[in-house]
Amino acid sequence: MSKTLFERIIAREIPAKIEHEDELCIVLHDIQPQAPVHLLIIPKKALPRIVAATNDDQALLGHLLLTAGNLAKKLQLANGFRLVVNNGHDGGESVPHLHVHLLARRPLTWPPG
């Protein structure tokens, strides 16, 4: 089975602009940003999408959200931000590796997309 784009970035086979990295995740700047701040918070564990997560992934999923909050503080996103998780084709998933989008520094409308 071939590696996803994100697995190749984590393995340093493809370059990326890294904002943060720890033992559980890596945070990249999106190459097609939809806002002035558009980060991807990606678990190092290959998890294709949120519906594939199990109870064993609870701590990892919590870590992704806490990392997003810590980055929002670090980047001083006091005016607000949005977290998005896409699942499946109709949900806008483009890479089959779970990731959280952090979007900020522009007004975000509702409903999205």
35-88 tens-digit pLDDT? 999 999 999 999 999 999 999 999 999 999 999 999 999 999 989 999 999 999
Length of the chain: 113
- Prediction pTM value: 0.94
Per-residue confidence band for 5, with pLDDT thresholds at 50, 70 and 90: very high
What is the per-residue pLDDT for 113? 67
Hey, what are 92's tokens? Answer: 């806008």
- Does residue 38 carry a catalytic annotation? no
What is the per-residue pLDDT for 38? 98
Residue 9 parent element (H or E) = helix 5-10
Higher per-residue pLDDT: 111 or 39 = 39
Query: Strands, E, within 1-113: which ranges?
Result: 18-21, 25-29, 37-43, 81-84, 100-104
Hey, what are 61's tokens? Answer: 């999923």
111 preceded by a cis bond (ω within 30 of 0) = yes
Q: Domain 5-104's class?
A: alpha beta
What is the per-residue pLDDT for 54? 97
Mean confidence (pLDDT) of the chain: 95
What is the per-residue pLDDT for 60? 98
Point out the catalytic residue in the list 38, 97, 99, 101: 99
Evaluate whether 42 touches 27 at the Cβ level (below 8 Å). yes
Per-residue confidence band for 13, with pLDDT thresholds at 50, 70 and 90: very high
What is the per-residue pLDDT for 112? 81
